[in-house]
Amino acid sequence: MAIRVLLGFSIPEEDLGHLFEVYQQFVENVFSLPVDLPFSGYRRGIQARQTLQKGLEKAIREKLQCTQGKDYSDALDLLIESSKEHGKEMTMQELKDGTLELIFAAYATTASASTSLIMQLLKHPTVLEKLREELRAHGILHSGGCPCEGTLRLDTLSGLRYLDCVIKEVMRLFTPISGGYRTVLQTFELDGFQIPKGWSVMYSIRDTHDTAPVFKDVNVFDPDRFSQARSEDKDGRFHYLPFGGGVRTCLGKHLAKLFLKVLAVELASTSRFELASRTFPRITLVPVLHPVDGLSVKFFGLDSNQNKILPETEAMLSATV
């Protein structure tokens, strides 16, 4: 999605698969200690970045040469046009760096949020069932459990209020990234300390969500805190900022929320799933929030009566003789 929707690249599946493997190596080593030795994480990360940029340069050149037939502007188009409006032509190196940053922002954060969503639905079956009830009420899920064809439209998704609350609560408790950086435009004071103009400052999304006075029982997963009756996020301006804030808010926030909503609907309407390990994995925060060694989950399809469709081998193992 990041490659094709946000950036407008037309990369063959085989090349895309190779780039993805290289990208994963880049992400795994992006926060390595800067020690440039053979076989070090830093060296592997640098090599992966060079390979990625070589592939991205080819895709960028092909994109710049083929501008026919497009009926929308993607994120890379906007980046290029914005620089031209300010009287500056972006160099190829700047385009490659910007493209790699967009891919990192789109893939790593969405993968993190998707994993957190699945984990919370596993931990809170009552939330999952309430979500299914909303789908039934909106005609997306029949009472027998069969998903209705052609019902998953943008306007329908916008009307699923409880689903919106679930996604918001996932992003409050499990924000993929810790914060963002800004440059101080004018000197100001904060809690008696003077912050000079020109300094770089970092705002913490997680600390903001943990300490914001508007949220009650901050450690509890409670989607109803975002319901119309409570609307805890509406009291104050910058208490809830999973996608940042101001003019530099996340460029892909609407796409990310749409992706998570579609994923939640698919999970709730077409499958049953359960934890495949004895306990839930430990969570780490670097480079983005994610489970250590991943989240192991068993997924089962559903028949028309909402019974699990077991894989053939598992059905044989559980059969009585």
Known binding site for heme: residues? 250
CA-to-CA separations, 76 to 81, 94, 98, 231, in angstroms, rounded:
9, 11, 8, 35
Q: Do residues 187 and 197 make contact, with C-beta atoms less than 8 angstroms apart?
A: yes
Residue type at 86? Answer: H
Residues 6 or more apart whose CB falls under 8 angstroms from that of 1 comprise 106, 110, 255, 259
Q: Which tokens hold the place of 194?
A: 């003077």
Residues 6 or more apart whose CB falls under 8 angstroms from that of 178 comprise 204, 205, 206, 285
CA-to-CA separations, 96 to 52, 87, 100, 175, in angstroms, rounded:
9, 19, 6, 27
Distance in angstroms (rounded) separating the CA atoms of residues 41 and 32: 6
| Residue in 89, 77, 170 with CA at minimum distance from that of residue 131 | 170
Residue 195 DSSP symbol: E
Place of tokens 């094709």: 4
